[in-house]
A and B are shown apart, each in its own frame.
Chain A
């Protein structure tokens, strides 16, 4: 038999001014199952809590209803008190007499009546409350960071510096990411490599960081604190332990005309290569798609010249299994290329380039050693047109969003050009200038005012080539919408920033959601911007949405803080208010699987003792379930239920509401 205690709080006068608390306590004492009922001025005060504790012990209560304020306010307080009295804290429920009753109604009979009914509803609920125990999930205190760009590097270093192990996986032969390709960075115009490379080296040398370059995540299983990840280490064909990085193989490689990815296709590299001089690790890999040995079975020059015997053609992809407790996705972004824009010639004009190509042309370590030479004939341009929003904010091109970084880097590009050619003409076509950020607008103003960059507000309709010049046709919306034509030697398109082409595949491996543009989705746009919906998987950088370096680094540090906070405990304690399955009645239709936002519903095989399969049923992974209960309402056979809001509890609440129903014979 249930033995319920009811404790009605006056909340000073907050409740008692409109609700007759004594009367509520008296009415409640007549409810079936209620053995003790009392009202008190401040239930949350020490004497109030003692009142509850004493009553629990004296009356051997099996359930407690505290009729006071909102449970969102004091539920933890009273559950703690209940636990201190020696019964399970989840046997305590609260009736919300303050926010939902006394504060919103006047003093009248119906207010007290409502209060008494609210108590009755909770009394009926608490009769069905079960003893629950917090869920403890062990935590593997190693983080996996996917992506070795500035976001991944920052997150990895922050986590590693707080004493936890980090595994970093980078798909390219070197870490560094997009930032390594940049010449200078806004708004300070400091050299990108200068600030990045020390960080790259730090990653490589950090005792807590294990680095896998030229590697990708193959599969991810498990859940927060307990992920099991398989990493595919792509065959480098070079034994990096033996390799001294002398570079002889690169020098001798006969295949030297492969468009260089690092230089955005503006330079060439060999088939065995290190992406750039400051690469980490600074040891080569063989690009098997272009290597004569792999294509035709002969050559082997690199092997012959290698003094360290480090060339291993027979190397195969290796699968490395690691256990990690948290995963940081920092896979970055990509940009659209100039061939994406038909009106600018479908990439047909070599002197219409994208922003990243301009970075390489402007970079001291780039293919032109920092001298601005246009790709077609190597001439130094006198007139350069920069087009912002090349594809971005254009629903017709499927990219309605703002790429966010272009306004700033376009201003930077124009300045870099003007700094190299003081007499040159720099023109920027723009839609709006979005330069929100510390020192950002000042930077743009500097480009306009000090460096005399010609900013034209309007879009470019076409570019065509005539007599060796690029004719840029556009409109100046500020000058009476006059159409303008500018002759340019070089056109730089700030093409749209987009998600990586394989981001969807990775999201599916990680079981995280992604938006319609294939950027990864954060758990909450405002309040949980660095976490994903899948507990234990966080985001850093532009894989979530286009971001500049400061934003990426801040988010990476934020993510690292989340990881470190998770790792600060040995076990993850979670509220046990999660769903569970009744194996006896589940028929395994698995229609519930797609309803779960957290992919917490798995398959479980029920077998007899002799091992024969009886059936396959749903199983809720307690590490993943967040307790929304959507599966509970969906399940046709009521085989799923949820602790804290069980079918029996809620049904009892609803049944206790009014009690007006007449029965035939009555």
Chain B
């Protein structure tokens, strides 16, 4: 069994419990043990880097240092915001002499930058896809709008994704599990992210556009790979619907949940019961179509 470091961040222990559940489920399938970093701390998102640049490097750096000390070359960081902070911190330490000397003093740990943060998409590509084909038990015959949000593809120097303005990584995964990925216009638009709590009006406006476009192009669900995106699109439906002519009922599901379904894992074990927007209709439709196949 392969062991890699796991940095859940705050979301996966709370609002994104379903993300954690489904991620763990597919990791088990892929025979990868996700070892949670011992005594990890907040990555600093999304406030630290606008307040104190050194702290914004130091906070994630401590997590990187922990991963190093535990002997990991890779840390799976499922949250796109956490990923962005950890990857940025590693980048700063590797490229800036100032941080190279200052950070170890601050966090009182050695750090070389040998532990590389990876996103869920990197993880799926590297560990899951190879084993997927022979183990597919469900064909997910539905239309999906793959939504990347901002931090998976930006900034350029941290992104591992090609075609940043029109990425196709999730689309390829969706196709592999038998789904149809729609071509739509809002896959890398901003959902409002960190304003989730303080300015729900803005979230409403931004997310409405996203949901509306996905809806108008016939999507059955939106697929995401970031807990921030998920919570804004899923949780703020009341605010969102204020900006729409008719209430939008598209469910927002994690790419890991999608894979779990394809592998035949029970929806409950993938946290489908923990969504604000009901996933029942969607699951039902899938089930019907699967049965028809």
Chain A residues engaging chain B, CB cutoff 8 angstroms: 342-343, 345-346, 348, 396, 462, 464-466, 471
Contact A471 B165 (CB under 8 A): no
List which B200-243 residues lie within 8 A (CB) of chain A.
Answer: 213, 216
A342 and B163 within 8 A (CB): yes
| Contact partners of A345 in chain B: CB under 8 A | 166
**Chain A residues near B197 (CB-CB < 8 A):** none
User: Which residues of chain A are within 8 angstroms of B17 by Cβ–Cβ distance?
Assistant: none
Write out the residue numbers on chain A whose beta carbons fall within 8 Å of the beta carbon of B213.
466
B165/A346 in contact, CB under 8 A: yes
Report Cα–Cα, A342/B153, bound state, in Å: 12
Choose among B164, B185, B186, B216 the residue that contacts A342 (Cβ–Cβ < 8 A): B164
Q: How far is the CA of A345 from the CA of B163 in the complex (A)?
A: 10
Interface contact B185-A348, CB-CB below 8 Å: no
Indicate if the CB atoms of A346 and B185 lie closer than 8 Å: no
CB distance from A260 to the nearest CB of B (A): 28
- B185 x A343 contact (CB < 8 A): no
Closest Cβ neighbor of A471 among chain B residues: B185
A464's partner among B163, B164, B185, B216 (CB-CB below 8 A) is B185
* Chain B 150-166 interface mask (CB, 8 Å, partner A; 1/0): 00000010000001111
**Residue on B nearest A341 in the bound complex, by CB:** B165
Residues of chain A lying within 8 A (CB to CB) of residue B163: 342, 346
List residues 156-190 of chain B with CB under 8 A from any CB of chain A.
156, 163-166, 185-186
Q: Decide: B185 and A466 in contact? CB cutoff 8 A.
A: yes
20 pairs, A vs B, C-beta closer than 8 Å? A342-B163, A342-B164, A342-B165, A342-B166, A343-B165, A345-B166, A346-B163, A346-B165, A346-B166, A348-B166, A396-B156, A462-B165, A462-B185, A464-B185, A464-B186, A465-B185, A466-B185, A466-B213, A466-B216, A471-B185
On chain B, the residues within 8 Å of A348 by CB distance are 166
Separation in Å of the A551 CB from the closest CB of chain B?
34
The interface residues of chain B lying within 8 Å CB-to-CB of A465 are 185
CA distance A464 to B214 in the complex (A): 13
Contacts of B216 in A (CB 8 A): 466
- A197 vs B33: C-alpha distance in the bound complex, in angstroms? 73
Please report whether the interface of chain B is mostly helix, strand, loop or mixed according to DSSP. loop
A178 CB to nearest chain B CB (Å): 29
List the 8 closest A-B pairs by CB distance, nearest first: A464-B185, A342-B165, A343-B165, A346-B166, A342-B166, A342-B164, A466-B185, A346-B163
Q: Give CA–CA (A348, B185) in the complex, Å.
A: 12
Q: Which residues of B contact A464 (CB under 8 A)?
A: 185-186
| Bound form: Cα–Cα A303–B216 in Å | 56
Q: How distant is the Cα of A585 from the Cα of B216 in the complex, in angstroms? A: 82
Q: How far is the CB of B188 from chain A (nearest CB, A)?
A: 9
- Distance in Å: Cβ of B269 to nearest Cβ of chain A: 37
Contacts of A466 in B (CB 8 A): 185, 213, 216
- Chain A residue nearest to B164 (CB atoms) is A342
The minimal Cβ–Cβ distance linking A484 to chain B, given in whole angstroms, is 15
Residues of B within 8 A of A (CB): 156, 163-166, 185-186, 213, 216
| Complex CA distance for A471 and B212, rounded to whole angstroms | 15
A623, B2: Cα distance in complex, Å: 69
A440 to B166, CA, bound (A): 38
Which residues of the partner chain A approach B186 to less than 8 Å between Cβ atoms?
A: 464
For the complex, give the distance between the alpha carbons of A54 and B168 in Å. 90
CB distance from B48 to the nearest CB of A (A): 25
- Max chain B CB contacts within 10 Å: which of A348, A464, A465, A466? A464
| Complex Cα–Cα for A462 and B185 (A) | 9
Q: How far is the CA of A465 from the CA of B156 in the complex (A)?
A: 25
In chain B, what residue has the closest Cβ to A465?
B185
A641 to chain B, nearest CB (A): 45
Q: Which of chain B's residues has its CB closest to A345's CB?
A: B166
Give Cα distance in the complex from A441 to B163, angstroms: 38
A342 surroundings in chain B (CB, below 8 A): 163-166
Given contacts A342-B164, A343-B165, A471-B185, 15 further A-B contacts (CB under 8 A): A342-B163, A342-B165, A342-B166, A345-B166, A346-B163, A346-B165, A348-B166, A396-B156, A462-B165, A464-B185, A464-B186, A465-B185, A466-B185, A466-B213, A466-B216
Inter-chain CA distance A70–B44, complex, in Å, is 68
Give the one of A342, A345, A471 with max B CB within 10 A: A342
Task: Report the separation of the CA atoms of residues A396 and B156 in the bound assembly, to the nearest whole angstrom.
Answer: 10
A471–B156 Cα gap in the complex (Å)?
25
Closest to B166 in A: A346
Per the bound structure, the CA–CA distance linking A396 and B157 in Å amounts to 11
Complex: how many Å from CA A464 to CA B186?
A: 9
Whole-angstrom CA separation of A69 from B23 in the bound complex: 86
**Closest Cβ–Cβ distance, residue B153 to chain A (whole Å):** 10
A343, closest chain B residue (CB): B165
How far, in whole Å, are A348 and B163 apart by their CA atoms in the complex?
A: 12
Give Cα A465–Cα B166 distance, bound, in whole angstroms: 13
Q: What A residues does B164 contact at CB under 8 A? A: 342
- Shortest CB-to-CB span from A587 to chain B, Å, is 41
Q: A348: nearest residue on chain B (CB-CB)?
A: B166
Question: What CA separation (Å) do A69 and B106 show in the bound complex?
Answer: 67
Q: Which residue of A is nearest B217, CB measured?
A: A466
Max chain A C-beta neighbours (<10 A), residue from B156, B164, B166, B213: B166
A471: chain B residues within 8 A (beta carbon): 185
A residues near B156, Cβ cutoff 8 Å: 396
What residues of B have a CB within 8 angstroms of the CB of A343 in the complex?
Answer: 165
**Smallest CB-CB separation from A467: which chain B residue?**
B216
Complex Cα–Cα for A603 and B163 (A): 49
**What A residues does B166 contact at CB under 8 A?**
342, 345-346, 348
Complex formed: what's the CA distance from A342 to B162 in Å?
Answer: 11
**A344 closest partner in B (C-beta):** B165
How far is it, in angstroms, between the C-alpha of A342 and the C-alpha of B187 when the chains are bound? Answer: 13
CB distance from A493 to the nearest CB of B (A): 14
Write the chain B residue with the least CB distance to A342.
B165
Alpha-carbon separation in the docked complex, A297 to B213 (Å): 52
- A462–B190 CA distance with the chains assembled, in angstroms: 13
Alpha-carbon distance between A346 and B216 when the two chains are bound, in angstroms = 23
User: A463 — nearest CB in chain B belongs to which residue?
Assistant: B185
Q: Tell me the complex Cα distance, A449–B165, Å.
A: 36
**Complex CA–CA separation, A345 to B185 (angstroms):** 9
Once bound together, how far apart are the Cα atoms of A563 and B154, in whole Å? 52
Alpha-carbon distance A464/B213, docked complex (angstroms): 11
Cβ of B186 to closest chain A Cβ, rounded Å? 8
B158 to chain A, nearest CB (A): 15
Q: Specify the chain A residue showing the minimal Cβ separation from B156.
A: A396
Which among A345, A348, A462, A465 has the greatest number of chain B C-beta atoms within 10 A? Answer: A462
Task: Report how far A464 CA is from B210 CA in the complex, Å.
Answer: 13
Bound form: Cα–Cα A471–B209 in Å: 13
Looking at the assembled complex, report how far the CB atom of A398 sits from the nearest CB atom of chain B, in whole angstroms.
12
Give Cα A107 to B117, complex, Å.
76
Bound form: Cα–Cα A281–B32 in Å:
68
CB-CB under 8 A from A462, the residues of chain B are 165, 185
In the complex, A343 Cα to B156 Cα: how many Å? 13
A464→B185 CA distance, assembly (Å): 6
Give A343 to B187 CA distance when docked, in angstroms: 12
Q: Chain A residues with Cβ under 8 A from B165's Cβ?
A: 342-343, 346, 462
**Could you tell me the distance between the alpha carbons of A177 and B25 in the complex, rounded to whole angstroms?**
62
The CA-CA distance from A361 to B77 in the complex, in Å, is 50
Q: How far is the CA of A465 from the CA of B183 in the complex (A)?
A: 10
- Closest residue of chain B to A464 (Cβ to Cβ) is B185
Centre residue among B185, B213, B216 by max chain A CB count within 10 A? B185
Nearest CB to that of B213 among chain A residues?
A466
CA distance A471 to B213 in the complex (A): 12
Complexed CA–CA distance, A343 and B165 (Å): 6
Q: Which residues of B contact A396 (CB under 8 A)?
A: 156
Give A339 Cβ to nearest chain B Cβ, in Å.
11
Complex Cα distance A466/B163, Å?
Answer: 21
Q: B87: shortest Cβ distance to chain A, in Å?
A: 19
Q: How far is the CA of A465 from the CA of B186 in the complex (A)?
A: 11
Q: How far is the CA of A345 from the CA of B165 in the complex (A)?
A: 8
Closest to B188 in A: A462
Min CB distance A263 to B, Å, is 27
Query: In the complex, what's the smallest C-beta–C-beta distance from A382 to chain B, in angstroms?
Result: 21
Min CB distance, A45 to chain B, in Å? 66
C-alpha spacing A464/B217, complex, angstroms:
13
